[in-house]
Structure 1
Amino acid sequence: MPGLTKAQLRLVEAAEHSFDRIYAAQYGEERWRNSLRPALLRNTRYAMLVNRYQAAEIPSGGLFTDDDKRKLQTIDLLFPLPVGKGSYNSAGNPQQLRLLAYKRGDLTDPSQPVSIDEPFPVPQVTTNPDGSRELMAHWNLDAASLLPVRLLNPMPGDKVLDLCAAPGGKSIALAQLLRPPTMDDLDAPSLAGGCLHSNEVDPARHKRLAANLEAYLPPALLRSGEVKALELDGADPLSITSLPLVRAGGYDKVLLDAPCSSERHVLHAHARARQAGKVQATLLLNALRAVRVGGRAVYATCSLRDEENDGVIERGLGLVQKDKKKLGIKWDVAVRRSAGAEEETWLEGWAERTKHGWVVLPDHPGGGQWGPLFFSVLEKIPA
């Protein structure tokens, strides 16, 4: 490593060895060394979420040539869901998120070289002759990051809180599912009565979140308050319980994409993963406080570590039990791995089961090379 002193190099090597010990113990020495670690060190694979409010199929404006378009494949995020209140099935849900990725070779064959994905074009700001700006046409992301959005199952009429929303990719996806697909008049208020509150406490990140919402969503959604950027401390129960919708009974759906220490870039930087489970468990408890009884919360992280994934679910459930004894709350929490056998079969094509949820890892035998991403679905039920 050029530019490092011998002492600095020793610290970096020690951190890398510690990192390897942690994950070799968790995932097994053979898998970590031969499969998972090499997969994490490859270039991140990205997909493109097409903005429903700007483009119907593939963003135009010269971003993609006809040859580019032939290389694209649709990523199917429309898994089976049971018919009934709070759910909708594939036949009755034309609000499929439009997600595209470049086609890949056979990643399941180790004898085949792994190709590096071509980068997607950066979203462009288009200014009209009258000086107004077009909405951004797409958002680049890891396709697995939209699985928590799908498992949250937002529908027109739902009141949704994205508790740790910056920079805003998941909020933009959520907003695409909260209006009926036949509603063409984007300046009209939503007849369904739903809303999306996207929260970020850090001032700089909140500013970026608000700017992204304005860049991707019709102005009417923001003017009417149908979509709103909040700046609350998600770890502070007083901030959460002060929200009018929480005082009125709670949100229908809450997404907690928790900040984590073990993001993929940590491995590339040879940095040590730090345990942050206590903060995450507090955030999870507040997410559960914010959702109504009968509602759903999805917890997600980009962490590899059990302590920040299943461990946080267990700590959060423990905090709920303490509140029941200390405060006499009248609700409980149930972990819902999925909505049924069909959905589990679909998820197995993306992820592997954990104790309380699922984890997407880039060495998954399906060959998608997505992740890492952990998610768990929780339902708030009467005590």
Structure 2
Amino acid sequence: MAQLFKNVKLHNVLFIPVRYRNPQHHWSEVKKKVTCTQRALDHFDDFYEKVYGESWKHIRSAMLAKNHKYVAVVNNFSDTERTCSELENLGAMSLKSVYDSVKRSIDYEKSLVRPKGYQETIRLMNEKLGNIVEEQKKNVTSVYTDPSDDHTQNVIEKESENDNSSFEPVKLKSIETDLKVVTSKDRIISPACAESSSFLYEYVPATKLKGMEDFVLESEHYNYYTQGADFRIKIEKENDMNFPDHLLLYTFEEGNNTKFPKPKTGSTDLLDYFVLDGASVLPILSLDLQPGDKFLDMCAAPGGKTMMALQTLRLRLAVANDIQESRINRINTFIHEFLLEKYCDKSFYITQSDARHIEDNGVYNKILVDVPCTTDRHVLHEFDNNIFKGSRIKERLRLPELQSEILVNALKLAIPGGTVVYSTCTLSPIQNDGVVQMALKKAFEEHNVVYKVIDQMDALVPLKYLYNFNDSALKYGHIVVPSKSRNWGPMYFCKMIRIQ
């Protein structure tokens, strides 16, 4: 009997039917499996596909990839020459050199003077070429047909009418035309524009937030930001981007995702360099830091952009601010790895304050407003501190309001003629252009300050070799979107200068 029991399969003996098990598609089973990273991806699929169209699948694929691309910022307080030499031996190239080289090439093309009557000569050549083509058509037709035949003549005339376009001379097009790049030429929202009243509605996700028992329509929350759609803002073009001589940035060419090695400790006991997302350098470059500038980073943790500003060696005063003690500790730790203490004592300070309530009026002429946002790339890879956790839904919905309040305070603090750069690492037009629009209106109405927005489209052209810009849906700022060969970002930035 015992031997017989051993030969019986265990699952046949101990089989217990489950009468009330839910299928995999049941809401209770689905809810158990949805993580905050998956919730973030579902939200982005719902939202960004409407904003970026066919481009979204490529952006999505790049953000989910692990081969994130970086820029190395050389530490001027360590062994600069040795560090630059070692980075160049790795195959890294200077971002400033790339920009200057491409800029010279563009300027040279623009400087070419066409001889007088050049356009008329081209027109006459095209006309002559068309006549030659027509003559050749007649010659070819006469070889294979009898012109005296009425039926043949009718066929020839009909074919000539149908196929005439195939014999027209080809008009040459530029590479830019073939690429079909769509850019926004009118970057001013006018009250008379019929589209202005629905500016932000185009980007509001139509579906409900996932992972909630009582669904909340995000469109209802964001209706508030359409109130600023009728506020007219002056736009001014900028043709050049200034690279400070002492700001040494290195990266690898397009498609090369080589990782920078761990930095060494130099003769000053400081690290040789640090790395940033390649798009993160653009907000600091947009500030156009000059000797004697007084700089404020309102939301500075972990400190990378502040340190980059310090590496220009141009600042008379630099202040890194953040709200939480834990974030202040991160700034302190980072700064002491790269900055000499005697430098900190004279011109660099770390403050802990709510950026919405900083009151240092009339002090700063350069302010960076790198606000808290949905951190689109981070939330797809990290569970810790993920803003798409169920417990942080209200916080996420209030982000645009918080961002707007911080930016309004920055616009109030900057001195006349001063520059404010607003930046995020999200693809959301509501957190980007939407916040800029609303903040500029509120700053004018509440504090009587007026700003002009700087259109940097022309200044950024030399960087299109390395960065993938997608400004077609924007009115004010610029955005770097990730792609497989240029996998950095997303990073939105908007430059504003106070004129009143």
The TM tier, using the shorter chain, reads 0.7 to 0.9
Aligned-pair CA distance for 1:208: 1.6
| Partner SS for 1:318 | helix
1:203 corresponds, among 315, 325, 328, to 325
**Which residue of the partner structure matches residue 168 of structure 1?**
303
**Which residue of the partner structure matches residue 187 of structure 1?**
none
**Which residue of the partner structure matches residue 355 of structure 1?**
475
Runs of 4+ in structure 1 deviating by more than 4 angstroms, as ranges, are 10-15, 77-80, 87-90, 269-273
Whether the 8 Å CA contact 2:76–2:246 is kept in 1: the answer is no
Q: Partners in 1 of 2:319 and 2:440 — Cα distance?
A: 25
Larger radius of gyration: 2
Q: Partners in 1 of 2:355 and 2:419 — Cα distance?
A: 17
TM-score normalised by structure 2 residue count: 0.58
Residues 1:69 and 2:189 are matched in the alignment: no
2:259 corresponds, among 119, 130, 144, to 119
| Partner SS for 1:355 | coil
| Partner SS for 2:301 | coil
Gaps of 5+ in 2: 1-27, 104-237
Gaps of 5+ in 1: 81-86, 106-114, 180-192
Deviations 1:63-116 (A, max 9, x none): 96x9x8243222238667xxxxxx9988x97625211224454xxxxxxxxx7x
Whether the 8 Å CA contact 1:214–1:222 is kept in 2: the answer is no
Per mean C-alpha deviation after superposition, the further-off stretch among 117-126 and 167-176 is 117-126
Per mean C-alpha deviation after superposition, the further-off stretch among 344-353 and 298-307 is 344-353
**Which residue of the partner structure matches residue 228 of structure 1?**
349
Whether the 8 Å CA contact 1:47–1:142 is kept in 2: the answer is yes
2:75 corresponds, among 43, 46, 51, to 51
**Which residue of the partner structure matches residue 203 of structure 2?**
none
Deviations 1:198-233 (A, max 9, x none): 111210110121222222122221122x11111121
Q: Partners in 1 of 2:340 and 2:429 — Cα distance?
A: 39
Per mean C-alpha deviation after superposition, the further-off stretch among 272-281 and 47-56 is 272-281
Aligned-pair CA distance for 1:55: 2.9
- Residues 146, 5 of structure 1: CA spacing in aligned structure 2 closer, same or farther, 3 A cutoff? same
Question: What is the aligned-residue RMSD (CA, Å)?
Answer: 3.1
- Kindly report which structure 2 residues correspond to 1:334-373, keeping only aligned pairs within 5 A, or say none: 334-338=452-456, 341=458, 343-346=459-462, 348-349=464-465, 350=467, 351-353=469-471, 354-363=474-483, 367-373=485-491
- Kindly report which structure 2 residues correspond to 1:180-191, keeping only aligned pairs within 5 A, or say none: none
Residues 1:257 and 2:370 are matched in the alignment: yes
Residue type at the aligned position of 1:122: K
Aligned-pair CA distance for 1:262: 3.4
- Residues 26, 52 of structure 1: CA spacing in aligned structure 2 closer, same or farther, 3 A cutoff? same
From the two aligned structures, give the one with the greater helix fraction.
Answer: 2
Per mean C-alpha deviation after superposition, the further-off stretch among 270-279 and 136-145 is 270-279
Q: Partners in 2 of 1:352 and 1:371 — Cα distance?
A: 12
Whether the 8 Å CA contact 1:154–1:178 is kept in 2: the answer is no
Q: How many residues align?
A: 320
Q: Percent same amino acid among aligned pairs? A: 29
Q: Partners in 2 of 1:16 and 1:300 — Cα distance?
A: 22
Q: Partners in 1 of 2:326 and 2:381 — Cα distance?
A: 25
Aligned-pair CA distance for 1:159: 0.7
2:379 corresponds, among 248, 255, 266, to 266
Per mean C-alpha deviation after superposition, the further-off stretch among 343-352 and 354-363 is 343-352
- Residues 322, 347 of structure 1: CA spacing in aligned structure 2 closer, same or farther, 3 A cutoff? farther
**Which residue of the partner structure matches residue 269 of structure 2?**
134
**Which residue of the partner structure matches residue 194 of structure 2?**
none
Whether the 8 Å CA contact 1:99–1:143 is kept in 2: the answer is no
Whether the 8 Å CA contact 1:155–1:178 is kept in 2: the answer is no
Higher RCO (CA < 8 A, seq sep 6+): 2
Residues 1:148 and 2:283 are matched in the alignment: yes
Aligned-pair CA distance for 1:304: 1.1
From the two aligned structures, give the one with the greater strand fraction.
Answer: 1
TM-score normalised by structure 1 residue count: 0.74
Residue type at the aligned position of 2:272: A
Q: Partners in 1 of 2:39 and 2:364 — Cα distance?
A: 45
Residue type at the aligned position of 1:311: G
